[in-house]
A and B are shown apart, each in its own frame.
Chain A
Amino acid sequence: DAKTTQPNSMESNEEEPVHLPCNHSTISGTDYIHWYRQLPSQGPEYVIHGLTSNVNNRMASLAIAEDRKSSTLILHRATLRDAAVYYCILRDVAGSQGNLIFGKGTKLSVKP
């Protein structure tokens, strides 16, 4: 499976936008880019996913580079509740069972 590279940690101020980067230079044509986050003492939760086009939902936006070798998760206004570990994951839905392969993720701290 193709791997992703994320910074170990990032800091943000409350109510400011946050851009969480992810590199995936070996991504294949059938890999979807998924983001999950894990709040302290909880299981991971789905945030957003995309294939080629930028995506928006109520939680975040996903910006995908034209060559698909990198992507950025955008939280438009960080809140204290957004402090979590954010995981960027590639899922090849062609012939796979769909299990997620997590890296270490980016630990986001949000300062009041």
Chain B
Amino acid sequence: DAGVIQSPRHEVTEMGQEVTLRCKPISGHNSLFWYRQTMMRGLELLIYFNNNVPIDDSGMPEDRFSAKMPNASFSTLKIQPSEPRDSAVYFCASSSGDSRLAGGVDSPLHFGNGTRLTVT
């Protein structure tokens, strides 16, 4: 099992540029979560998908952020245009089971290694 795979590991870009972060969940997992981690706010949920459908995107900070999951094995988080305050580590996590149960006592979360984004 390769685990949750995120790419790139590091991304440095200039303000105004488009940034695309990628995630491949664990095969068979049908819930996928995007988190952002900053020193000030810790880990925050941005959006989660169940069976490729976005269930709750209330954590997405602004319209500059968008996420897609075109199939069960791939998701993207896009920021356009990027701003310096978007600098953070972005984590993808996946879990099996229903979205209401994902991460519950029988469906642990599996995290990717994260993408460290720096916007200058």
User: A and B, one complex?
Assistant: no
